Amino acid sequence: MLTTPRLIAIALCAALNFSIGSIVYLIKLPVYLDSIGTILCALLLAGDRKAAFVCSFLSALLSLIVSTLLINPFIPWFVGTDVALALVSAFVTSHGAAIFRARPLRPAAFIARVLLYGVITGVTAAVVSAPVVAYLFGGVTGSGSALVVAVFLHAGQQLLSASLSSGLAIEPIDKSLQVLLAALLYRATPGEFLAMLQTSGPDQAKRNPGYGG
């Protein structure tokens, strides 16, 4: 399953997660943008959803380890969110691979899929992350989203409710942006590299919606 091209894809996607996510974390924006590579990795392997999940999770895990060591000591506690994001990316978002790759571009279908998968991914991330944010960190994780939690707490919500409300307010927007960027990167990926990611010969390669083009 983990061929050399797939290992390269995992490393590149992990670097994408780490680089953009770290910049956003350090300047305290109320978004994350730290899972673009996770989503992209699932799209790159859309023809084999089991491999898409494994590789997208490994890219998330690798970026999590590097982020923990260098930037953000809070991030290991969100490994469950990474698992959830990899699952949604591999088994839901990857269904949009053909639309994202279509030539010529169909703008209405492209944007509709981006928003649909962004909202699904965002709601999933919000629900999975809220207990961690509330019970382990008291709503303060060091990211810009902590300010949004504080707003909901000031409005009278309990800590878990405020953490969930913050996630539901931020995550769908954040994940829609991430799906958009991942889809654009997937669209720009050379067909030759997509073909290299396949392992079961031409028939399997042709089942990948992004093969060729």
* Whole-Å CA distances, 26 to 32, 70, 100, 144, 191: 10, 12, 31, 9, 35
Q: How many CA atoms lie within 13 A of 177 on its CB side?
A: 12
Whether residue 55 is contained in a domain is answered as yes
- Residue carrying the six token digits 């944007």: 111
Whether residue 166 is contained in a domain is answered as yes
Range of the domain at 89: 4-207
pTM, entire model = 0.91
**Total domain count, the chain:** 1
Whether residue 213 is contained in a domain is answered as no
Show pLDDT as tens, one digit a residue, over the chain (213 residues): 899 999 999 999 999 999 999 999 999 888 999 999 999 999 999 999 999 999 999 999 999 999 999 998 889 999 999 999 999 999 999 999 999 999 999 999 999 999 999 999 999 999 999 999 999 988 878 777 888 998 999 899 999 999 999 999 999 999 999 999 999 999 999 999 999 998 654 444 444 455 445
Whether residue 187 is contained in a domain is answered as yes
Whether residue 164 is contained in a domain is answered as yes
Token pair, residue 47, equals 């023809």
- 163-186 tens-digit pLDDT: 999 999 999 999 999 999 999 999
Q: Domain holding 141: CATH number? A: 1.10.1760
Whether residue 177 is contained in a domain is answered as yes
Euclidean distance between CA atoms 152 and 100, whole angstroms: 36
